[in-house]
Amino acid sequence: MSDVRKTRATAPIMSLNAYENALTQFAQAAQVLGLTKNQVAMIKDPRKVIELNLPVRMDDGSIEIFQAFRVQHSVARGPAKGGVRFHQDVTVDEVKALAFWMTMKCAVVGVPFGGGKGGVVVDPSKLTLGELERLSRRFFAELAIDIGTEVDVPAPDVNTNPQIMAWFMDTYSMHTRKHSPGIVTGKPLEVFGSRGRTQATAQGMVYTLEEAVDHLGMQMDGLRLAIQGFGNAGSNSAILLAPQGAKVVAISDVTGAYLNEDGIDVDAAIAWVGDHGGKLTDFETSGVATKLDDPMALLELDVDVLIPAALENQITPENAPNVKAKVIAECANGPVTPEADAILNEKGVFIIPDILCNAGGVTVSYFEWVQNKTGYYWREERVLEELDGIMREAFQTVLRSALKHDVPMRVAAFIVGIESVTRTAELRGLYA
Ligand code: NAD
């Protein structure tokens, strides 16, 4: 889990409304598909928005209230599915956007889930471990009546981690008096997690990037990369891509952005983070990289591939004209605003959109849920082999849709997602 207090190394995340952006993306694809009013009504809006005020006893004996949300956007294709974010800037609109993207993402990769997301308005770096555990347990205890292995299955997101998922699973199991490992995914291996889940988001991105590189006639060997965010998605992206001959020129996290034109020693960066509370604090003193004066300059570096792996709304109309990357692989959700998208498309930047690119996480979460339901646990080779097949097939499906409709990959991915959800919703029909 990474800490997000202190200096801001990216643009303020809610300077733009993520849910409005999500609806703009929906409208673009819906227009190409010529959806009817009824079809839009069936799938666009979230089905359930839960708002909670969580009382938590702090270490000094005081009680603090934390605002929290869980949004179940769609249950047409299966139980709602999506992570829980702990961040001081969480809003209900952000969670609605993330839940909507989950619906689309699950449909794009064909895993049998709807879309959901949760968020707690908190800066977890300000809590002690005990306070963090009590907050996590209280959130899950309050949510217990609205979730279930066949209802809504949470997972990790920004600032939540396998330990928090273990507390979630334990809280729910104690409440229901039933061993319920499938209530949440992204758990530690010892608490019925899946092999391969930790690196799944980055691994899925790598499979789609390999497909994109192949499609564009480029080569993985020698690719110059910049990665924004060095948590689960970002650091695992660096770990997986460096051995393929890619040069990780720049990395960043909440503490700043760090550059080495000859390639950052990824092992050294991982070790540094391990020794500095999960952050790149003072990484420039390691001798491995220099610190950029403006961390946002990372997004404008002369690289082949840019991997946003932090938060929403990082590439905006202000900096999009200066982006030099040929490919953007969106590990983060919603890193590019719709206006910036138009500028990047005009420039010919190939974007692997979030609802495709980072779907490896939910795909292995699906494998974890299946393993929990059957009680039979897979070897890592099986996880990777199945993930590989699903991600590459999804990439090719989206690419075919892009070529067929003559639209960018993002619109194509939404077309694939919307067609799938609409078809299921129509076949199921309206109950009562
Ligand atoms: P994380 O908490 O593990 O890491 C987040 C990283 O972003 C940290 O390095 C943090 O320092 C950095 N960060 C936070 N605020 C920042 C800021 N203002 N400027 C620069 N860096 C900042 O979270 P994660 O799980 O890696 O998630 C990152 C992104 O990937 C999110 O958009 C998330 O929704 C998306 N994602 C994650 C998963 C997953 O399985 N974890 C799956 C799909 C998508």
Residues 332-389: pLDDT tens digits? 999 999 999 999 999 999 999 999 999 999 999 999 999 999 999 999 999 999 999 9
State the Cα–Cα distance between residues 249 and 259, nearest whole angstrom. 6
State the Cα–Cα distance between residues 266 and 250, nearest whole angstrom. 10
231 lines ligand 1 (CB under 6 A): yes
User: 14 falls in which pLDDT band (50, 70, 90)?
Assistant: very low
Query: Of ligand 1's atoms, which has the minimum distance to the CA of residue 335?
Result: 32
Asked if 360 and 202 count as a contact pair (C-beta separation under 8 A), the reply is yes
Exposed, middle or buried, 93 (CB in 10 Å: 0-12/13-18/19+)? Answer: middle
Q: What is the mean pLDDT of residues 145-163?
A: 97
354 lines ligand 1 (CB under 6 A): no
The token pair at 338 is: 């719709």
Q: For strand 327-329 and strand 350-352, is the pairing parallel, antiparallel, or unpaired? A: parallel
Q: Write out pLDDT tens, residues 263-308.
A: 999 999 999 999 999 999 999 999 999 999 999 999 999 999 999 9
358 lines ligand 1 (CB under 6 A): yes
Ligand 1 pocket mutation pick from 254, 280, 313 by most atoms within 8 angstroms of CB: 254
Angle formed by the axes of helices 200-215 and 360-374, to 10°? Answer: 130
Angle formed by the axes of helices 409-428 and 92-109, to 10°? Answer: 80
User: Ligand 1: distance of its center to the CA of 115 in Å?
Assistant: 19
Ligand 1 pocket mutation pick from 158, 291, 292 by most atoms within 8 angstroms of CB: 158
Rounded to a whole number of angstroms, the CA Rg of the chain reads: 20
Strand partners, 328: 306, 351
Query: Of ligand 1's atoms, which has the minimum distance to the CA of residue 197?
Result: 40
Order across the sheet with 48-57: list the strands: 48-57, 63-74, 115-121, 80-87, 152-156
Asked if 352 and 331 count as a contact pair (C-beta separation under 8 A), the reply is no
Residues identified as active-site? 117
254 lines ligand 1 (CB under 6 A): yes
Q: Write out pLDDT tens, residues 168-211.
A: 999 999 999 999 999 999 999 999 999 999 999 999 999 999 99
Q: Write out pLDDT tens, residues 81-134.
A: 999 999 999 999 999 999 999 999 999 999 999 999 999 999 999 999 999 999
State the Cα–Cα distance between residues 1 and 237, nearest whole angstrom. 16
4 lines ligand 1 (CB under 6 A): yes
What is the Cα 205 distance to its own chain's centre? Answer: 11
* Residues 415, 32, 421: CA angle, nearest 5 degrees: 30
Tell me which residue of 232, 230, 235, 208 sits closest to 220, measured CA to CA.
208
Task: Give the single-character DSSP code of 336.
Answer: B
